[in-house]
Chain A
Amino acid sequence: MDRQHMRSPLARAMGLGSAKKGVEHWWAERVLAVALIPLTLWFVASIIAQTGSDHATFITWLRMPVTTIMMVLLLVALFHHTALGLQVVIEDYRHAGSKFAALVIMRLTCFGLATAGIIAVLHIAFGG
């Protein structure tokens, strides 16, 4: 044990602790939260404006460059923020093996959904 830092050499070597990954996670969650304020408000306002619109109208709206950019940014920020938030929930309520499995499944699901959403938007934006 390092007497000055009250941490074992192993913990230091692994780079764990409140001033390492903890701050990174905390900070990223908040940066994404700030980004999500305008992105989600734009999304909700747009969806309200699109209420009852048919497929052709929706596609025309989504193909506008501003809409495409905003939607991709929303998906990136939304699923990154979701992964960070759900990670804390899983870490608080699941333990040992099931925690590890839940974290892996959750993280991969978020990656998969974000990719699927972005590809769908780009397919609509650039598809023939």
Chain B
Amino acid sequence: MMPTSPAKRPRPLSPNIQIYRPQLTSVLSIANRISGVVLSLGAVVLVIWLLAAAAGPEAYAVVQGALASWLGQVVLFGCTFAFFLHLCGGIRHLVWDMGYGYELSLIYASGWAVVAGSVALTVLAWIASLLLGD
């Protein structure tokens, strides 16, 4: 009788997110990664925008029109929030990389500071943009 190969059994993947309660630390960790991927797509929009500007006023107007549409504005707003989240989260990571801020209380304090800071900076950026755009 052949023994069943242990490799055939589906192995659980770590971390076991299906049984793991979300916490501020884990949510911000994956949020930093997701916002980075979102910003990669935003970088594609940046290059399209620059290429359109180089191509001439007509192409530039098409891209500006697309960005000014409600869908374009939703995408830009999402990119703005992803940017400030990734910026604040990235600075938090750089502080950790220098060896500071590992006490549990500081981890939660800096985590909530990232949440509050990225929301506040996104709102401020859009208020400034709306005021200057009119």
Contacts and interface: CB of A to CB of B under 8 A. Distances in A.
Contact of B47 (A44, A58, A59, A117): A117
The interface residues of chain A, by DSSP majority, are classed as helix
A17 interface: no
A126 B83 CA distance: 30
Which residue among B37, B83, B90, B133 has the maximum number of chain A CB atoms within 10 Å of its CB?
A: B90
Nearest to B60: A55
A113 interface: yes
Interface string B121-134: 00001001100111
Contacts of A78: 43, 46
Which of A49, A54, A82, A124 lies at the interface centre, i.e. has the most chain B CB atoms within 10 A of its CB?
A: A82
7 contacts: A37-B87, A37-B90, A52-B134, A82-B40, A86-B36, A116-B51, A127-B54
Interface of A: 30, 33-34, 37, 40-41, 44, 48-49, 51-52, 54-56, 58-59, 62, 71, 75, 78-79, 82, 85-86, 89, 113, 116-117, 119-121, 123-124, 127
**Interchain residue pairs A-B with the least CB separation, the first 4:** A120-B50, A120-B54, A51-B133, A55-B57
Interface of B: 33, 36-37, 39-40, 43-44, 46-47, 50-51, 53-54, 56-57, 60-61, 80, 83, 87, 90-91, 93-94, 97, 125, 128-129, 132-134
